Structures are given as structure tokens and as C-alpha cells.
Amino acid sequence: MSTEKQLSYQITNTYSVLNNFTKKTKTVWLVCHGIGYLSRYFLRHFYHLNTEENYIIAPQAQSKYYLKNEYNHVGASWLTKERTEAETENVLNYLDEVYKAEDLKNAPRLIILGYSQGVSVATRWIAKRKINCDELIMHSGKVPAELKKDDFQFLKNTNFTFIYGTEDEYLKKGIIEVEEKRLKELFPNNFEIKRYNGGHEVNTEIIAEFA
């Protein structure tokens, strides 16, 4: 009979940044990529923002793999259904270190954005670690079912935005109707929905509205 055991050990991971943090920086972004990305490539969706005023930090999901069964391009995933609770804690511990390394507590204006799978990562981190931010942007992804309204009530002055494409193959009509209703319950104040004509893709035009 096989037995699964558990142990703890220290690992090293990277994260990517775009632009420099200076006295001219007005907004700091922490952006969590979707499945299949590497953080340095996800930053391409923020190249159009003013380089002096915006400093963008892209954490890197630890679990990397080859895309499309080809040993060429590499992507990454934050979590799977396997041991989700324990793996979530690993991810949150990593984000805690990014938060400390970049001194995000003292950011002039902090935007936290999650795209696709990154929505679940960003919202879990905010809720479980009580991370304050000025804007929470949930782009083309779902908030985990275990998170409740009370988990976000500490955010008194945060704006919440849900962005999605009307042709998103992962957010069918029935799914999106349920998600919109739930988000309005989770975020009864300062909540806005932004839709665009398109599929499951990062919308750089809407992102620019927050810069």
C-alpha cells in the first residue's frame, strides 16, 4: 500500500518588473498572469502605459511546463485541483515575499490585477492576507467559491472592476450571469463591470483607463 507524506523546504522563484520605481511613479501595479504565461511575457500587455508614472510587478507562477506537448515554449500554472489548499498557501507565501521586497505597503497607488487564473490567486491573497489596494481588477476570471463578502469588507476605499469579453469561450452566458450576480454580492460598493467585444484575451485599452 502506498502512502503520501509531506515535508517543507525552501525554494527560490523569480518575478518580473517593467519600468523603474522613481519619485515620478504614480501607480504601482501587481499583475497576476493567467495559465500558460511566463511573467516576463505577460508584461507585454503593459508596455503601452506611461513608463515614468507606472511601475508594474508581475509575479511568476512556480509550476512550469512545456506548452502544447512541444519541448519549445514554456508556460506556468498557479494552481490545480491537486492539493489546492496546501499549494495555495505556497503561492500566498511567495506573494508575501514579493510584497515585502517591493515595499508595496508604501506604494503611492496600488492596483492589483488578476487575469484568468490570476484572478483566483489575486483575490485569495487579498482576502486571506488582508492586502489593501486602491483598485482590484478581475479580468476574465472567476473569484474562488470559498471567498465570501466578509473576506473583503476590510477594503473600505477600494474600487472593484470585473472585465470580460462577450465572446470569451471560458465564460459562457450562463456562467457569466451567475458570476456577475455573485460579484455584486461580494462587492456591494464601488463595483463596476466593463465588457468588450472579444474573446479570452487581455484588453489593453481598458487597462489603460486605470493608469
Asked if residue 145 belongs to a domain, the reply is yes
Asked if residue 3 belongs to a domain, the reply is no
**Rounded distance between C-alpha atoms, residue 34 and residue 115, angstroms:** 5
**DSSP for 75-127?**
EEES--STTHHHHHHHHHHHHHHHHHHTTGGG-SSEEEEEETHHHHHHHHHHH
Asked if residue 1 belongs to a domain, the reply is no
Q: So what's the pLDDT on residue 29?
A: 98
Asked if residue 60 belongs to a domain, the reply is yes
- Residue-wise pLDDT for 142-170, tens only, equals 999 999 999 999 999 999 999 999 999 98
Number of domains, the chain: 1
Question: Residue 159 belongs to what domain range?
Answer: 15-208
The stretch 27-42 carries a mean pLDDT of 97
Asked if residue 133 belongs to a domain, the reply is yes
- Residue-wise pLDDT for 107-142, tens only, equals 999 999 999 999 999 999 999 999 999 999 999 999
Amino acid symbol at 207: I
Can you say how many angstroms the Cα of residue 65 is from the centroid of all Cα atoms in its chain? 20
**Neighbouring-strand partners of residue 59:** 15
Name the band, by pLDDT with cuts 50, 70 and 90, for residue 85: confident
Question: What's the CATH code of the domain at 40?
Answer: 3.40.50.1820
pTM over cut 0.85: yes
Asked if residue 5 belongs to a domain, the reply is no
Asked if residue 103 belongs to a domain, the reply is yes
Contacts of 28 (CB under 8 A, 6+ apart): 21, 54, 55, 56, 57, 102, 104, 107, 108, 109, 110, 111
DSSP H stretches of helix in the chain? 39-42, 84-101, 117-129, 173-186, 204-208
**Rounded distance between C-alpha atoms, residue 130 and residue 123, angstroms:** 10
Name the band, by pLDDT with cuts 50, 70 and 90, for residue 71: confident
Asked if residue 4 belongs to a domain, the reply is no
